[in-house]
Amino acid sequence: MSAPTQTTGAPPDVTPSGTVGARALTGKLGPVAIVFMVVAAAAPLTVVGGAAPLGILLGNGVGFPALYALSGVILLCFSVGLAAMTREVPRPGAFFSFVGYGLGRRPGLAAAYLALLTYTTIQVSVYGYVGFILSGTMASLGLPVLPWWLWALVVAAVVGVLGYRHIDLSSKVLGVLLVGEVGIVLAVVAGVLVTGGAEGLSAAPFEPSTVMSGSPAIGLMFAIAAFIGFEATAIFRDEARDPERTIPRATYGAVIGIAIFYTLASWGLVMAWGPGHVVDVAAADPGAMIVTTTAKYLGTAGEVVVQVLLVTSMLACVLSFHNVITRYQHTMSNAGLLPSGVGAVHAKHLSPYASSLVQTATSVLLVGLFAVLGLDPVLQVFTWFAGVATLAIAILMAVTSLAVIVWFRRSRGRTRRWNTLVAPALGLLGLAVAAVAIVANFPLLVGDVDASGAQRFGLVSAVLLAVVVLCPLVGWVQATALRRRRPQTYARITDAIG
């Protein structure tokens, strides 16, 4: 293999074979492949089986399905601005690049660190959950009882191997797993439709009085959290077949598909048990609700299938987020913001293998730390860090919407008001409201309650909220230091190569 031309002054990387490899990622991913990867990150079956019952129980009860539709509208408005920015900024950094171009290099680097926090925390939270599920499942089969963290490390190893290889392999694996997840949920919904449900089919979940009952703000938190991952389409820009068309189509397809699927699936859950009983069923055992619902409408065979697919759903989720994180790190390395070696691209697999190894090591270290601290894999690892990710992504998307508005107001480029002002402004408003609601209810989201069950801003809430503030602050400080000491690197914050 001959050495390619070095790009924009970035240092070459040495591949394991000793040859010099290009630092730019390449590929021919189409919109469908990218949609598979980002929708897999949203973990459809895990959301329907875990988040939806909690949204029904802790949120607005029977009216929870409508909040998926509402979230879809808010995020679709956000996507319009994101797609417009994608055409203007031909960079793969997504939030990192867009905020940098719109609001400046320091906010851009702050956004990069907040994005890394978002995807790392959501990934490690799922490691806790999948470790718990696998531990219980294997024990039920009569196998030796192993701690959750050991199973989590096994999954991390599998993800590490797939992430080390070319992105096409991950997209194929994620595609197969996603089809299985969606298929079993749609089969349950079909069973509900055929039988007419427990109390007959109705539009009760979408009646205004029902939607506004209970705690809709808490319900909105769970609904927004279910979409985490769809916005990462832009990070695959360098590996897309035709970025100018592929990325916008993948973004719209992902958010619309997720919104329709979750709305339909959660409506099916409500109809399966009836508006008069669904909250009681969710309260009895929210984690097992999808399993018992499947058993009721598809029998024992369906119950076994859904239990297996719950595990593969979480595997798909962590693999997808692994791919996203490695590409953020790769882009930051090529901008001189992380060590140069992190940006290395494998000569054979054409993957950001060095970044993948770093991310695998990070996951292993965090799982090990949580094991040493004795954290509960569900009540603490999963709940706490999913809460952090939900707040961080709402802030990140709101800031990105603002960056889109500012960029197009300042530039003399595209000036279509709907794409560059109205839709981003609506997305900004909706996301800002969601972020405020999340902060106000953050103790409940992370389980920081007193003996009576009332939420309180205690030590757990304070520490986790501080992390959300400190991570972007690190990026801001780094950018400030670079501006003084390494102005050329500072300038590359908005000129990162892929």
pLDDT in tens, 129-159: 888 888 877 877 777 888 999 999 999 999 8
Mean pLDDT along residues 46-52 = 84
Q: How confident is the model at residue 409 (pLDDT cuts 50, 70, 90)?
A: confident
Q: Using alpha carbons only, give the angle 287, 288, 289 rounded to the nearest 5 degrees.
A: 95
Q: Please report the pLDDT score of residue 236 as a whole number.
A: 62
CB within 8 A of 105, min separation 6: which ones? 479, 483, 490, 491, 493, 494
Q: Is 450 left (phi over 0), alpha (psi -120 to 50) or beta?
A: beta
Considering only residues 385 and 165, tell me which one the structure prediction assigns the higher pLDDT: 385
pLDDT greater than 80 at residue 388: yes
C-alpha closest to that of 438 among 211, 212, 214, 224: 224
Considering only residues 359 and 178, tell me which one the structure prediction assigns the higher pLDDT: 359
pLDDT greater than 60 at residue 11: no
pTM of the shown model:
0.81
pLDDT greater than 80 at residue 418: yes
Cα distances (angstroms) measured from residue 438 to each of 217, 372, 475:
8, 29, 23
Average pLDDT, the chain: 82
pLDDT greater than 80 at residue 237: no
Angle between helices 105-140 and 148-164 (to 10 degrees): 120
Cβ atoms of 217 and 441 within 8 Å: the answer is yes
Q: How confident is the model at residue 498 (pLDDT cuts 50, 70, 90)?
A: very low
Mean pLDDT along residues 310-338 = 82
Q: Using alpha carbons only, give the angle 193, 195, 201 rounded to the nearest 5 degrees.
A: 55
Report the C-alpha gap between 261 and 495 in whole angstroms: 37
Q: How confident is the model at residue 440 (pLDDT cuts 50, 70, 90)?
A: confident
Q: How confident is the model at residue 319 (pLDDT cuts 50, 70, 90)?
A: confident
Which CATH superfamily groups domain 30-494?
Amino acid/polyamine transporter I (1.20.1740.10)
The domain locations on the chain are: 30-494
Residues 36-45: tens digit of each pLDDT: 666 766 678 8
Which residues share a beta bridge with 165?
none
Mean pLDDT along residues 220-236 = 77
Q: Please report the pLDDT score of residue 157 as a whole number.
A: 92
Q: Please report the pLDDT score of residue 244 as a whole number.
A: 65
Report the C-alpha gap between 431 and 409 in whole angstroms: 20
Q: How confident is the model at residue 317 (pLDDT cuts 50, 70, 90)?
A: confident
CB within 8 A of 281, min separation 6: which ones? 273, 289, 292
Helix or strand (DSSP H, E) at 398: helix 383-410
Report the C-alpha gap between 331 and 495 in whole angstroms: 10
Considering only residues 18 and 290, tell me which one the structure prediction assigns the higher pLDDT: 290
